[in-house]
Amino acid sequence: MSTRNAWLAAAIFAAVAAPAAAQQEITKRASVAPDATVEVSNVQGSVRIAAWDKNEVELVALLESDRDELEFEASLRMVRIEVDRPDGRYGRDDSEARLTLRVPQGARIIADTVSADISVTGVRGEQELESVSGTVGTQAYDAPVNASSVSGDVTVTGSGGKAAVRTDNVSGTSTVTGVRGSLEGEVVSGEIHATIAAADRIELSSVSGDITVNAELTPTARVEMESVSGVLTLKVKPPVNADFDIESFSGDIESCFGPKARSTSKYTPGSELNFTQGNGGARVELQTLSGEISICDR
């Protein structure tokens, strides 16, 4: 071995050995009630939660940094998990904390992250999931689901249950499919794509992002969609029995059924469209400032 090779080998050994020593793997378990609340907080990395058929919470935490500390507090009704860095300094440190949990199916989940992704599968209890830049993905059953991310995407997949789903994004995209019941959502520049069966209530708004909804409306459904400059597209599954109240300050209104839109004033570029389709009953209100509005039944 030459001197050069010896130095090289030493440098490689140092680079590999030191970070490996900093990593922590921690496993925690607690017996809980079937509908216990599980609160999780993480900064960067991931939070993965899956339901199982035990009244028990299991956590496997992989902390890449030895500066991170894991807090795990458990009682019968509540489990609280938090990854904390006492000095609060992350800076350019990309070390992650990856939390994998198994919880009872009926658990209530509250998860909060900064850049960590959140994914939840099979949990039938109420969910409140919030991230700043991480993605959020979950399944909706019958309990309410609130999912939000500032710049990450939000995906909610329904299972045919009658869940009340709410999504909030700033620049990320919300995608909601297979949900029955109600959907509320807000977005700034991101988009909302939703497919809802037997919709009772749809309330969506955006600043500049587009909103596209495919919905089957119940006889008493109430739909409100609003955007400043985004495009609103509503496709209603026939037969359509609804009262439509559509207005745009300067955007176009397109409809593949019913009458044509008319100008609201000879002084402003606005247009509106009010009519009853079929027997009426459901109520649809769409509004934009400059964004285009499109409704259709196919």
Residues of this chain that bind other proteins (CB under 8 A): 1-3, 6-7, 9-11, 13-15, 17-19, 22, 39, 41, 43, 65-67, 80, 82, 84, 87-93, 95, 110, 112-115, 130-133, 148, 150-151, 168, 170-171, 186, 188-189, 205, 207-208, 226, 228-229, 247, 249-250, 267-268, 270, 287, 289-290
* Three-class secondary structure of residue 18 per DSSP: helix
Do the Cβ atoms of 171 and 153 come closer than 8 Å?
Answer: no
Please, is 290 exposed, middle or buried when counting C-beta atoms within 10 Å of its C-beta (0-12, 13-18, 19+)? middle
- Both tokens assigned to 150: 């500032």
Q: How far is the CB of 268 from other proteins (least distance, A)?
A: 6
Q: How far is the CB of 130 from other proteins (least distance, A)?
A: 6
* Three-class secondary structure of residue 19 per DSSP: helix
Half-sphere CA count of 177, side-chain side, radius 13 A: 4
Do the Cβ atoms of 130 and 150 come closer than 8 Å?
Answer: no
Q: Which is nearer to other proteins, 74 or 240 (CB)?
A: 74
Q: How far is the CB of 165 from other proteins (least distance, A)?
A: 17
Q: How far is the CB of 152 from other proteins (least distance, A)?
A: 9
Q: How far apart are CA 17 and CA 25, in angstroms?
A: 17
Q: Which is nearer to other proteins, 126 or 168 (CB)?
A: 168
How far from 134 is each of 131, 182, 211, 294, CA to CA, in Å?
Answer: 5, 25, 21, 32
Q: Which is nearer to other proteins, 31 or 93 (CB)?
A: 93
Residue 67 carries which DSSP code? T
Q: Which is nearer to other proteins, 39 or 216 (CB)?
A: 39
Q: How far is the CB of 212 from other proteins (least distance, A)?
A: 19
Q: Which is nearer to other proteins, 232 or 240 (CB)?
A: 232
* Three-class secondary structure of residue 210 per DSSP: coil
Q: Which is nearer to other proteins, 234 or 240 (CB)?
A: 234
Q: How far is the CB of 34 from other proteins (least distance, A)?
A: 21
